Structure 1
Amino acid sequence: MDCSASTCTRSISRLSATSETVFCVSRTLRVLLKSVRRLSLKPLHIFINLYRAIRVTFHRLVRHIVSSISSYNMAKVNTTFQTADYLVCASTLLVACGIGVFHACTGGRQRTSAEFLLADRNMSPFPVAVSLVASFISAITFLGTPAENYTQGCMYWLYAISYIFVGLWTSRCFIPIFYRLHVTSAFEYLELRFNKVLRICGMLTFFLQMIIYMGIVIYAPALALSAVTGLHLWGSVVAIGLVCTFYTTIGGMKAVLWTDVFQVTIMISGFLALIIAGSMRMGGIGKVWEVAEAGGRIDFFNFDPDPTVRHTFWSVVIGGTFTWSAVYCVNQAQVQRYLTCGREPVAQFALFLAVVGMVIVVSLACLAGLVMYANYAGCDPFTLGYVDSSDQLVPYFLMDLFHESPGLPGLLVSAVFSAALSTVSSGLNSLAAVTGEDIVKTISPDIEEEKYTKITKALAAGYGILCIGMAFVASLLGDVLQAALSIFGMIGGPLLGLFSLGIFFPWANSKGALTGLICGLVFSFWIGIGAQFYPPPNPNKPLLSIDNCPNVTEASLNATFYMTTELPYTMAKEPERPHVAQLYAVSYAWYSAIAWLTVIGTGLIASFATGYTEPSEVDPRLLCPVVDAMYCCLPEKWKGPLRCGAKKYEPGDDQYRDYKMEPIRTVATDLDLAV
C-alpha cells in the first residue's frame, strides 16, 4: 500500500524511537539484574554499574526528548498507549517480580522472621536511605505535588525545610530508643513504657492509618494509567496490587529495599524527563520561572499567621514538621527500615541520606509543576475539560510532550507505577510485622520460627488483598495529595503524640496516655470530617485561564461561555457558615500538630489527676529527656537537675539489660499500698 513521503518518514521515525527506547530500557534492566546477582558481595559496585547504565540511558532519552518536541498545538492530546509503552510498563512490573523471586531463592530464602521482616539486620545505608525516600513520597508526590504547584503555587516547596527538622528529631530522639530495646515492632515500646492496652491501641491506630493510606497509593497510579491509556481503572488497581503483594510476600524486606532502589531511579528519571522536555518547549528554565512568577505561582514569603490559610511559611514548615515526624519517627514501616541497618550510627547515616533524597525529590516535583504551568499558562486543560481533576494533569502533560515518541510515555507512567509499588510493599511488610509481633507472638509466645515466618508471609498476602479493596474508598476522597497528608495528620498525629508523651515526659502514666490518645483521635477526626462538610475557603487561589489558547475549539468556547454565565452565581454571597465551621477551616497542614498538642496536653493533665509516674522509676532506656536531645553540649551538672528526676541512660549499664520489666509504679499506686 502506498503512502505519502511525510507519512513514511513519520512512521520510520516512530519505529526508530520505539526501538531506541526499548533498547535503553532493556540495557538498564540487564545491568541492574547483573548487579543484583552480586548485591550481597559488592554493594558499591552495584551503585557504580547502575549509575553508568542510567547515564547512558539518560543521554539516549534526551536525544529523543529533543526530537519529540514539535510545534505546540493546544488541541486535545491523543492519550493512547502504543505497543512500546505497554512493553515498558510490563518490563517494570516484571523486574519487581524478578527481584522478589531472586531473594526468595537466594541467601536464607526467607525462612526466618529476622530475614523476612528485617533483612537479617545487616543492610548497608544506601538501599535503606532510598527506601526511606520511596516509602511515603511515592505516587502521591509524582501526581499530587506537581498539580499542587500548578494550581496553588510553590509554597509546598517549603516542605523541604521541614524534612531537615524531621531528620534531626528522629535521629536524636527516636532511633536511639528503638535500638536500645532491640525491638521488631515499634509498639513494643508502648507496652514497656505503659502497658499492653496502649500497645494494642497504638497497633490498631497504625492499622487504620496504613490501610487507608495504601488504598490511596494504589488508586493514584491506576488513575494516571486510566487517564492516559483508557484502560479500565479497576483493572489497573488489581494489577498493581497483585504484583506488589507477590514480590513482597516471597522476597521479604530485602526484595522491598532493592525494588525501591530500582523504582526511585525510574521515578527521578521521570521527573527529569518532564522538566527537561517542558523547559525546552518553553525556551529554557528561565522562561519557565518568568511565566510562573507572572502567574502568581512563585511565593515563598507568605508569613500570614492565620491557621486557616492553606499554605503559609508557618503551616508548611512547622505543621509539615509534625506531619512528616508522624511518618519518620514512629511509623512502623520506617522504624523497620532503621532496624535493618543493624547498628544505630548506620541507621542515622541512612536517615541523613534519606533527608537529602527527600529534598531532591520534592524539589524536582515542585519544579515539574512550575514547568507544567508555564506550558499551559493561559490555556488550562482543566478549564477546557481535557482532564477531570487536577490529579490527572501530570499524565496528561507527559502524553502531551511524548505522544509522538513510543516508549517514553510508558517509561514515565512506569515511574508512577514504581512509586506506588514501593510504598505499598513497605506497608504490607510493616503490617505483617506488627500483626506477627503484637498479636501472633502475644497469643503464642513459643511458636516455632518456621511456622511464624509462614504466618507473616500469609499476613502480607492478606493485607495486599485488603488494600486493593480500600482503593475504592480512596476514589471517593478527591485530591490525592491533600487526602494522604490529611490522613497522616488525623491518625499519625495522635500516634506521634502518644510516643512523645512516653519518651519526653517521665510523669506520664498509662491512664494519661490512653486519655490523650483518645482525645487526640476524636479531636483530629472531628476537624478532618467537619472540613468535608464545610470545606475551608481558599480566596487567594491563583486563577487559571484559557484566554491565550492558540487554537480555541468549540469545546473551549463552550467552557468559556459556561464560566461566563456562571460567574454571577459564584460571586453571590455564600450561605452563612456556623461558627464552629471556623475550626473546620484550619489548614490540613496543621492537623498533625493540633493532634500532637491535644495528646500531650490531655495526657499530662490526666496523668497528674490519676497519680503521675515517679520519673526515677522509669527505665532510662525508655526516655529521651528534652535537655539531652536539645542541649547535648551543656555540662552534666546543669543537665542533671533539668531531667526533673529522670535517670540518665548509660550504655552498657547492667541494671537495665533485662528486656521485660515490671509495671511502672505511680504515686497513686504507692498511696494505695500505704493505705
Structure 2
Amino acid sequence: MVAEGNTFVVWDYLVFSIMLVISAVIGIYFACTGGGQNTSEEFLTGSRKMSAVPVAISLSASFMSAVTVLGSPVDVYRFGAVFCYFSIAYTLVILATGLVYLPVFYELGVTSTNEYLELRFNKLFRYIGTTLFMFQTILYTGIVIYAPALALNQVTGLHLWGAVVTTGIVCTFYCTLGGIKAVVWTDVFQIGIMFTGFLAVLIRGCIVCGGIESVWNTSYYGGRLNFNNFDLSPLRRHTFWTLAIGGTFTWTSLYAINQAQVQRYISCKSLRQAQLALALNLIGLLFILVCVLLCGLILYAKYVTCDPWTSGMISAADQLMPYLVMDIFQAYPGVPGLYVACAYSGTLSTVSSSINALAAVSLEDLVKPFFPNLTSRQLSYCSKGLSLFFGLLCIAMAVLASFMGDLLQAALSIFGIVGGPLLGLYTLGMLFPCANNVGSFIGIICGYVISIWVGVGGQVYRPTADITRPLPLSNLTCNVTMPTLPASTAERPALASSLYSISYLYVSMLGFLTVLVFGVIASFLTGGNARGSINPKLIRPICDYFCCCSDRLRKMMWCGVPHEDNPAESKEKAANGVWPVKTGGLEGMDNASFATDLDVTSGESMKQQITRF
C-alpha cells in the first residue's frame, strides 16, 4: 500500500472537484441552449451541424479512457516498448474507416449504424447488431467505470464503490441533460485535463529519474526497448505482427462500426468534415501513444530495482501508475488530484459517449419501429430517459468488471470477441454485393462460434508462462523474495497450447475472416444475391479501391448493380425503388420474392426498405 501520509490533501480534492463541476456545468449549459434539446435529432446528433475539430478531439478523448491512463503504461512497464507498433494499427484503422465505412454511413444519413444492416439485409440482422452492440458496450463501460475507482481507492482511501457510483452519476447527469453536444464539448475540456496529467507525470518523472537520457538507458539495459520483436508466432502476446495486424482488426471494429464513434462522425456538417475529424484524431492518437510509452518507461526506470507490485506494496498491477504519482509528487499538493482528475476524465469521456450511443441505438432500433407515432418532443424525452436508464445500468455492470483482472486485456478481449464478427458482417455487406441474407446469416453465426470458442477457451485455459511471461522485474533493493508460482498440474487439452493460446489481439481478426469466408461461400452455394435489388449506396466493392482493376472486373465485382455506368438510369431507378435484375442465374427473380429470404421479423420487402431512401 502507499506509504502513510501519501494521501489526498485539500488542494487535491479542490482540483478534482473543479473538474467535476465544470463537466456538469457544460451539460447544464447545453440543456439550456439550442431549444433545450427538444428533438431527438438535436439530442443524439447535434442536428448534424458540428465541425471537425471538436469532433476529432472528442474521438481522441473517448479513446483515451481510464483503461489507457492506468493500464497501457503498465503494459509497457511489464512487456516493453514493442507496444509502439499500435501506431501502425491506428494509421490503418483511420484509413479504412475514412475510405470504406464512413462514406457509406454518412451518405445514407442513418442515426443508428444498425439501420444499415436492415437496409442491406433485413430486420433480423438489425436486431442482431443492436443486441451485440448493447452487450459489448455495457460490459466495456463497466470496465472503464471501475478502472479509475482503483486509482481513487489506492491514492485516497475513498471507498471503491463510492467512487464507482460517483463516476456513473456525473456521466449520466450531463449526458442526460445535454446530449451529444455536451458529450463532445465536455470531451474537449476533459482531454485538456488528461494531457496535463500525463505531461505532469512525464516532466516530474524524468527529473526524478535523472533525465530522459537516463530513463532511456535504464530501459535499454532492462530490455524494455524491444522494438525488434518480429516473432511470427501468433501465440506471442505482443509482437510487431500481433500489434500491427491484430490491433488493426481490433480497433477497426471500434472506429468503423461502433455506434459511439460513428455517432460523432455523422454529427459533422459534411462528409469532408467527418473525414477531416478522423485525420485530426489520428494525430491525437499518436500523441497519446507517445505519452503512454514514456510513462511506462519512466515507471520502469523509477522502480527498476524494487517493483511495487511483486514486493507487495500494492495489490494490483493497475495501481502502479497512481502509486508512482503519489510517490513522486509528495511535495506538490494538488498534482495528485490533477492526475486522478486525468484518469477520471478518461472515464467521463468514454462512458458519456457510450451512454449517448446506447440511447441512440435503443431509440432508433427499438422504440421508433414499435411506436412510429411519437412526436418530436416525446422522442426527446424518451432519449433522455434512455440515457438515464443506461447510465444506471452501466454503474451496475462495473461490479462485474471488478472480477476481470487485467483491465487493458479484458477491454480489448471484449472488442475482439464481439466486435470482430460484427465488423465482418458490415464488411461483407459493403464490399461483397454477391452476399445474400442466407449466406451472411451463416457467416455471422460461424464467426461468433469461432470467436466465443477461442475467446472463452483462452480464459479457461490461460496461456502457459513461456508465452505470456512479462519481462524481468527486480526486487533487489526491497529485501523481498520474488514469489515463485507453482506450475499448473491441471490437465490441459491439446488445443490449450495452440488455438486457446492465440494472442488476444488476433481473436477479432479470426472472427472477421470467418464471417467473410463462410459468408461468401454460403452466398454462392445458396444462389447468390438478387443483384439488381441492391441500392448502390449500400455497397463499396473492393475493386473500387484499386486503380489497376479493369472495367470488366469492376462490372463483375459490382454484380450487376447500376452505378457509374449510367448515372441517369441509376438515379431514375433509385427514385422509383426499382433495380433491374441483369444476366445470371437469378435472371427473372423479382425483388420482393428474394427479399423474403430469412426475413422472419418483418413483412417489409427489400424493395420497400430501399424505397424509404
1:36-80 CA-partner distances (Å, limit 9, x unpaired): xxxxxxxxxxxxxxxxxxxxxxxxxxxxxxxxxxxxxx9946431
The equivalent of 1:47 in structure 2 is none
Alignment partner for residue 88 of structure 1, among 15, 18, 32? Answer: 15
- Match of 2:90? 163
Correspondence for 2:534 among 615, 618, 622? 618
CA RMSD of aligned residues (A): 2.4
Q: 1:324 & 1:215 partners in 2: Cα distance?
A: 19
The code of the aligned residue for 1:211 comes to I
Aligned match of 1:441 in 361, 368, 391? 368
| Deviation for aligned residue 1:643 | 3.8
Q: 1:319·1:593 contact (CA, 8 Å) conserved in 2? A: yes
Matched, 1:655 2:572: yes
Task: Report whether the alignment pairs 1:117 with 2:32.
Answer: no
Aligned match of 1:272: 199
Corresponding position of 1:519? 446
1:482 maps to which of 392, 401, 409? 409
CA pair 662-647 structure 1, distance change in 2 beyond 3 A:
closer
**What SS does the aligned partner of 1:508 have?**
coil
Is the 2:560–2:581 Cα contact (8 Å) retained in structure 1?
A: no
1:504 to 1:380, Cα distance in 2 relative to 1, 3 A: same
Structure 2 counterpart of 1:411: 338
Q: Of 361, 365, 378, which residue of structure 2 is paired with 1:451?
A: 378
Distance between the aligned counterparts of 1:636 and 1:202, measured in 2? Answer: 35
Native 8 Å contact 2:51 2:269 kept in 1: no
Amino acid at match of 1:544: L
Deviation at 1:290, TM superposition (A): 0.7
Query: Residue 12 of structure 2 contacts residue 336 of structure 2 at CA under 8 Å; is this kept in 1?
Result: yes
TM score, norm. by length of structure 1: 0.83
Q: Which amino acid aligns with 2:472?
A: L
1:595 partnered with 2:504: no
Check the 8 A contact 2:2/2:155 in 1, yes or no. Answer: no
CA distance in 2, matches of 1:475, 1:408: 27
Paired residue for 1:460? 387
Matched residue of 2:309: which SS? helix
Q: CA deviation at 1:588?
A: 0.3
Q: TM-score, normalised by structure 2?
A: 0.91
Equivalent in 145, 152, 157 of residue 218 of structure 1: 145
User: Where in structure 1 do 4 or more consecutive aligned residues deviate above 6 Å?
Assistant: 659-666, 671-674
Aligned to 1:35: none
- State the shift of 1:420 in Å: 0.2
Distance 1:664 1:438 in 2: 30
Q: SS at 2:226's partner residue?
A: coil
Instruction: Find the counterpart in structure 1 of residue 501 from structure 2.
Output: 585
SS in structure 1 at match of 2:333: coil
Match of 1:542 in 2: 471
1:250 deviates by 0.4
Structure 2 portions without partners, runs of 5+: 595-613
Counterpart AA for 1:590: Y
Counterparts in 2 of 1:103-502, with a 5 A limit?
A: 103-502=30-429
CA distance in 1 between counterparts of 2:422 and 2:23 reads 32
Cα distance in 1, alignment partners of residues 272 and 465 from structure 2: 45
Query: SS at 1:384's partner residue?
Result: coil
Distance in 2 between residues matched to 1:427 and 1:673, nearest whole Å? 39
* Identity across the alignment (%): 47
Q: Deviations over 1:151-176 (max 9, x none)?
A: 11112221111111011111111111
Q: Distance in 1 between matches of 2:573 and 2:322?
A: 55
Partner Cα separation in structure 2 for residue 600 and residue 487 of structure 1 = 20
Q: Is the CA contact 2:249–2:420 (under 8 Å) kept in the aligned structure 1?
A: yes
Q: CA deviation at 1:662?
A: 9.2
Distance change >3 Å, CA 368–CA 437, structure 1 → 2: same
**Pick from 585, 589, 605: which aligns with 1:670?**
589
Q: How big is the shift at 1:576?
A: 4.8
Task: Name the aligned partner's letter for residue 542 of structure 1.
Answer: L
Is the partner of 2:103 in helix, strand or coil? helix
Structure 2 CA distance for aligned equivalents of residues 508 and 639 of structure 1: 16
Q: Any conservation in 2 of the 1:195–1:663 contact (CA below 8 Å)?
A: no
Q: 1:647 Cα deviation (Å)?
A: 3.6
Cα drift, residue 371 of structure 1 = 0.8
Residues of 1 paired with 2:261 and 2:580: CA distance? 28
Is structure 2 residue 446 aligned with structure 1 residue 530? no
1:193–1:622 contact (8 Å) kept in structure 2: yes
For structure 1, which runs of at least 5 residues remain unmatched after alignment?
A: 1-73
Q: Which amino acid aligns with 2:167?
A: I
2:182, 2:473 → 1: CA distance?
Answer: 44
SS at match of 1:612: coil
